[in-house]
Structures are given as structure tokens and as C-alpha cells.
Structure 1
Amino acid sequence: MSSLYPDQQLRRRAMAWALRIKVNPKRVDIVQMPKKWGSCTSEGVVTFADELAETDKEFQDYVIVHELLHLRYRSHGKRFHAMMSVLVPNWRELKQRSRHSTE
């Protein structure tokens, strides 16, 4: 059992992925986002829905990787999808489970 709050665990998980992907977000925010799981600005601010902290780790990884890859690839092009497939092989399946958008 971790002594960190769920949002702290989520932020830590996101930063671990950022190191692995070799991207450097300016900031990682955890806020209420009723219609989205996450977003990424062109300024490098990555935001995740606080509800994401309550989902399973596999789904968290999908959303985290999706948003962090936008620091490297702005659109959902071939390279973006190829990297998603390498890093989260079952991302398409996880996307189907989502009730929110990651777009």
C-alpha cells in the first residue's frame, strides 16, 4: 500500500513514462475533467482527469502514453499510432473501453 494519494501516484506514473518515452512535460496537472481523460497543450502542459487515478493501471498507461506522445507528435498520424502500438500494444482495445475521449 502506497502512502501517496491517488493523484500523486498518477503524476509519478506519468513522469516515469515521460522518462521512458524521453519527453519532458513542462507541467503535469491532475484536475476534474468530466468529458476527457487527458489533454496536452502545445506549451507542454499535460493534464489528466482526477478520475483516471481510480482506473486500472493498464488503462492509466494508455491515457498517459497517449497524452505524452503528443509532446512529440501533434497529430494522430502513422508515427503516433506506431509508437502507441510499441508502448501500449493493446491500446485500441483500451480505447474501446473508454467512456471519455483522449483526443
Structure 2
Amino acid sequence: MISKEEFRKQVIKWADKIGVEPKEIQIRKMKNKWASCSSKGRLTFSHDLLFQPEDFRNEVIVHELLHLKYPTHNKMFKILLNIYLNQK
């Protein structure tokens, strides 16, 4: 498990790498999904992510941050998701 503060730092680090600025980062209980991104730039992450392995957390974080640039799962979204998750 990581703390909410550590998780937020992880999100901000990825946001800097991707070149986006979320307006707000929330962590709360979610029943049906790991995260969501509003059209106004608010990212909401499930509290349960704090208990997941780092690789999975990164996948969810990058996915949601990319939605700030690409609202749909278009070709560029998928290409960039793959690129970011496969670089170390």
C-alpha cells in the first residue's frame, strides 16, 4: 500500500512527463471503476488503487492523464499509452 500523498506525487510526476496539468486530483471510494477523468480536467482515482501493484497504478494513471489530451480511445491515445507504459 502507498499513501494518498505518495499516490498524488506519482500522478504529478506522470503529468509532468506527459505534459498535462490536471485541475484537481481526487482519491475516493469508487464502486465500478478504477478512475475517471472529467471534461473539466478533474481526475478521480479509486482508493483501492493505493493497494495495487505499482505497474497497475501507473497504467491507470497514464490512461486517465492521456484523456486530458485525447478524450476518446483513438489511435493516438493507444499509441501514446503504449509508449509511456513501455519506457522505463
Question: TM-score, with normalisation over the residues of structure 2?
Answer: 0.93
Question: 1:23 maps to what in 2?
Answer: 20
C-alpha displacement of 1:9? 1.1
- What is the rounded CA distance, in whole Å, between the counterparts of 1:75 and 1:25 in structure 2? 17
- Supply the RMSD in Å over aligned alpha carbons: 0.9
C-alpha displacement of 1:34? 1.4
Offset from partner CA, 1:72-94 (integer Å, 9 cap, x none): 001000000000110113xxxxx
C-alpha displacement of 1:69? 0.2
Choose the corresponding residue for 2:66, options 66, 69, 74.
69
Runs of 5+ in structure 1 lacking a partner?
A: 90-103
Aligned residue identity for 2:73: H
Larger-Rg structure: 1
Choose the corresponding residue for 1:84, options 77, 81, 84.
81
Question: TM-score, with normalisation over the residues of structure 1?
Answer: 0.80
**Percent identity over paired residues:** 38
Choose the corresponding residue for 1:36, options 22, 33, 36.
33
Runs of 5+ in structure 2 lacking a partner?
A: none
